[in-house]
Amino acid sequence: MPADVTFPLPAPHGPGEVTVRHRRLGAGSPLLLLHGIGHHWQAWEPVLPALAERHEVIAVDLPGFGASPALPPGVPYGVDAVVPVLGRLCTELGIERPHVAGNSLGGLLALGLGRAGLARSVTALAPAGFWTETERRYAYTVLGGMRVGARVLPQAVVERLARSAAGRALLVSTIYARPARRDAAAAAAETGALRAATGFEPTLAAGRGLRFTGDLSALPVTVAWGTRDRILLRRQGVRALHELSDARLVRLPGCGHVPMSDDPELVARVILDTCAQVEEEAGRVSPSA
């Protein structure tokens, strides 16, 4: 069952506290899962069973999203502020340098955790931060339209639309290439999460002018992009590969911006393969080395 953990803000943003809702399951080396803007931890449900067979999985609602309250007033939602919060979360949960997988905003934060030395591997699914200014404005326009739609539609209408494949396409086809694969409850719940996300506008504001840079050569990094991503266009994956010179780039055929529902088996395999590289590298080092 989901649980909450509350902890003090890390310096220099204190005093104050952060509360984070999370779902924890499975056994093995820890794997932290970070969702995208306007979403919640349930975005990972299609891949949780496969991941939990080999890892202790911690799927979180980022601050200001899902059931996690907003950050305290004055605390920014940029990478430099949120990454230390996630690092402190890991400390509170008793996990050290987890594998990290993230989607969109979560992919950007996963890369930020890797850059800060707080991850043992990173899988970034369509991460933000590799756009041109024109591409960023396009993405913000699409996201803003989704937010308006979620806030205008009454919940009763959302639930009625979610009962049919055509209605789910109307609600979530911007992020899924195969919206019919989402069940009615999931589609309605994530539309509600987008409507209620207190961190939505502050996160967009923090992303203006952002371009991710940094050296992650010390750990395995995979960047994966859906071929039918309608928000962050797939050519950004090539740009990410140029910035992250030691990363591998994986295409996700037929997947949209949130690929976990479109092809759960493929996405789980990509994440597990990235995590496995750490164990493989460790196995090549002799105990006396």
pLDDT per residue over 133-171, tens digit each? 999 999 999 999 999 999 999 999 999 999 999 999 999
CB 64 within 8 A of CB 77: yes
pLDDT, tens digit, for every residue of 215-253?
999 999 999 999 999 999 999 999 999 999 889 999 999
Helix, strand or coil for residue 19?
strand
- Its pTM stands at 0.95
User: What is the arithmetic mean of pLDDT over 38-43?
Assistant: 98
Using the predicted structure, report yes or no on whether residue 47 has a pLDDT greater than 80. Answer: yes
Identify the CATH homologous superfamily for domain 3-131+212-284: Alpha/Beta hydrolase fold, catalytic domain (3.40.50.1820)
Q: What percent of the chain has pLDDT over 70?
A: 97
Using the predicted structure, report yes or no on whether residue 289 has a pLDDT greater than 50. Answer: no
Using the predicted structure, report yes or no on whether residue 282 has a pLDDT greater than 70. Answer: no
Q: Residue 233 and residue 227: Cα distance in Å, rounded?
A: 8
Q: Residue 21 and residue 199: Cα distance in Å, rounded?
A: 14
User: What is the arithmetic mean of pLDDT over 101-122?
Assistant: 98
Using the predicted structure, report yes or no on whether residue 86 has a pLDDT greater than 60. Answer: yes
Phi, psi of 103 (to 5 degrees): -120, 130
Using the predicted structure, report yes or no on whether residue 15 has a pLDDT greater than 90. Answer: no
12 pLDDT tier (thresholds 50, 70, 90): confident
DSSP class of residue 103 equals: E
Q: Which of 8-12, 26-30, 233-237 has the lowest mean pLDDT?
A: 8-12
284 pLDDT tier (thresholds 50, 70, 90): low
Using the predicted structure, report yes or no on whether residue 288 has a pLDDT greater than 60. Answer: no
SS3 breakdown of the chain: % helix, strand, coil, rounded to 5? 45, 15, 35
User: What is the arithmetic mean of pLDDT over 28-34?
Assistant: 97
Longest dimension (CA), the chain: 64
281 pLDDT tier (thresholds 50, 70, 90): low
Using the predicted structure, report yes or no on whether residue 25 has a pLDDT greater than 90. Answer: yes
pLDDT of residue 285: 47
pLDDT of residue 175: 97
